[in-house]
Structure 1
Amino acid sequence: MTEFTPYASLFGGAMIGLSAVLLMLWEGRIAGISGIAGRLMPPYRDGALLSRIGFVIGIVAAPLLIGWYSGNAIAQTVSSNVPLMILAGLLVGFGSVWGNGCTSGHGVCGLARLSTRSLVATGVFMTAAFATVFLVRHMIGA
C-alpha cells in the first residue's frame, strides 16, 4: 500500500500548477512535458531551447534536492527490468503523440481551461493507467 501524504501531495500539486502558470505567463506555452521534451530534439524551431533544458533539469533535480534536503532517500519505485522500461517508454511516447499531448498538458493545463478534448484524453490516460497497474500487480505479478 502506498503511504498517504496529503501535505507533500498538496505542495507538489501547487508547484506543478505554479510552474504551468509561470510557463504560460513567460513563454505563452502550455506545460506539456512530452512537448517540451520532444522539442529538445532538432530541428529547433524557436529560441526557447534553454528554457526547455531548464524545465527538464528542474523535473529531474527537484526530487533529488528535496530528498537531499529532507534527509530521506528517494524511494526506489523504478523497475530494474530494462526491456520492460524501454517498452513502457515507447508506449508512453506513442500515446503522447497519438493523444496530441500528455497527462501534464491535458490533465493539468487542458482541464484548467475546461477543454472537452483534454477531459476525454485524461479519462483515457487514467483508465489505461488503472488497467495497467491492475494487470501488472494482480495478473502478471510483477
Structure 2
Amino acid sequence: MTSIVLVQPEIPGNTGAVGRTCVALDMDLVLIHPLGFEISDKRVKRSGLDYWPHIRLVEFASWDAFISERAPRGDQLYLFEEYAQRSFYEPEYPGDAYLVFGQETKGLPEAIVEAHRSQLVGLPMRSDKVRSLNLANTVAAAAYQAVRAHI
C-alpha cells in the first residue's frame, strides 16, 4: 500500500488536507517528528474535516526511526523536491511506495536528500513565476500519479 510521508510538517492545515487525500486513496499518513504543531490542533482536524478519524496515522520520532523500522527498499522511496531533475511522471511506482515530502518552508533536510539523491522526483512547472506549490496540492498530484497504475 502506498504511503504519504511528511517529514517535519509545519502547517496544520496542510497536514489535515493531506490526511483527507490519504483517506480518499486508502493510504497511510506517516508523520516524521518534530512537527510544527500538535496533532490535537483544531486546524489539523478542521482541514481533515470529519475524515480525520479514518486516517491511518503512523508517527515516527525521526527519519532514522522511520528508516530503521520500515526498512524501505530503494525502489519504494520517492522524495519530492522542487529542484529534482526527474519528473514525477517518469517512475513506475510500486504499490507499496513511500512518497516523501519535506517542510513547507525548507523542503527535505539535506542529509535525507544526500542519502537518497537518486530517488528525487519533482512536479514540472511551466511558468518561471512560481517557485513551488502548496504541500497539500503537491501531495494530491503525486498520490494520484502513484496509484494510477494500481486502480
What TM-score bracket applies, with the shorter chain setting the length? Answer: under 0.3
Larger relative contact order (CA 8 Å, sep ≥ 6) = 2
TM-score normalised according to structure 2 size: 0.24
| Larger helix share, 1 or 2 | 1
| Larger strand share, 1 or 2 | 2
TM-score normalised according to structure 1 size: 0.25
Greater Rg by CA: 1
